[in-house]
Amino acid sequence: MRNTARTGMRTLPRRSFLLLVFVAAATISRPVYLAAGKPSSSQKQFYLIGVGPGDPDLITLRAIRAIEKADVIFPSPGVVQRFEEYLRGKQVIEGYWHLFPFYGVRAEDVAPSERERYERITAKRNEFIRKVRQAVAQGKVVAIVDSGDPLIYGPWSWTLQEFADLDPVVVPGLSCFNAANAALRCSPTSGKTTKSVILTAEDWPGKTDTIERLSKLRTTMVLFTMTAHFEHFIQKLQVHWPPETPIAVVEHAGFAEKERVITGTLGTILSRVRSQQLPFEYLIYVGDFLQTRSNPDG
């Protein structure tokens, strides 16, 4: 006799019955928004993807899968070189990286000395926006592929506003901050008397949280340096931190072959670091958590 199970409608073979139960259970356990008919992320057309700060093995599986879906890629510098294998067969459009300055600023609010730069960047940004819109109108999936995490001092974060109507998908990436913590081999959230970390950058016009003000808290600070001068950071830090405060510079975090840590104190670091030789990819750490480093010179 065949194995059967009874449903309200008709008698099914046991295997079919079990399959039915499995499918029903899977459907019920799906997230509510899918059941409600909202498009899944696989149908989205605009992605902002972080691919990590260093060697290619720091990319995430989610980032790889998102790149796979894309037809058109706008990469940050260094991305093509590091992730060539994932970009094969895609339309890769380079040269649109530094487009955030003046985003949302009206021409009449720009100082005359800045007008030429404003016009140039705005024209380039508009060109980029047109390209994205065109690709999307053709049914293509567009992805911006950025180093590190795209929302930590990310030069493309403005695109989330610009393309809000496309319901962008952001794929997080490992930040250089994470990679540099690993390089230091100690936890920045474990200060002697503090438990917080301030991520900051140089003092940009219009921003009130200056390095000098933040330093008053004497909690761990991590400085994203971009193109600012090393000496200027140190001078500002010295206003409220005492000279014996431990400090570290982490270069090329996440690149196994070239990662480098230089340590000292606020009083000695200028004599240990050749600022002209610093790469674009370096972070400054300040705080007494650095004293907990095991084998600090290793």
Contacts with ligand SAM by CB under 6 A lie at 53-54, 147-149, 152-155, 175-176, 180, 224-226, 250, 252-254, 280-283
Q: Looking at beta carbons only, is 149 or 162 nearer to ligand SAM?
A: 149
CA 27 to CA 66: how far, in whole Å? Answer: 24
E-strand ranges in 157-298 read 169-171, 197-201, 220-224, 246-251, 260-265, 282-286
Minimum CB distance to ligand SAM smaller for 79 or for 135:
79
Pick 29 or 227: Cβ nearer ligand SAM: 227
In order, the DSSP letters of 27-52 are HHHS-HHHHTTPPPGGG--EEEEE-B
Shortest Å, Cβ 13 to ligand SAM: 55
By 3-state DSSP, what share of the chain in percent is helix, strand and coil, each rounded to 5?
Answer: 40, 20, 45
Nearer to ligand SAM, 17 or 158 (CB): 158
* Distance in Å, CB of 269 to ligand SAM, minimum: 16
- In whole angstroms, what is the distance from residue 164 CA to residue 99 CA? 17
Give 282 or 289: the residue with its C-beta nearer to ligand SAM.
282
Pick 83 or 282: Cβ nearer ligand SAM: 282
HEC per residue, 98-136: CCCCCCCCCHHHCCHHHHHHHHHHHHHHHHHHHHHHHHH
Tokens matching residue 93? 């459009």
Q: How far apart are CA 20 and CA 69, in angstroms?
A: 31
Closer Cβ to ligand SAM, 135 or 253, answer by number: 253
Q: Residue 12, SS3?
A: strand
Residues comprising the chain, all counted = 298
**Positive or negative: CA dihedral 255, 200, 94, 165:** positive
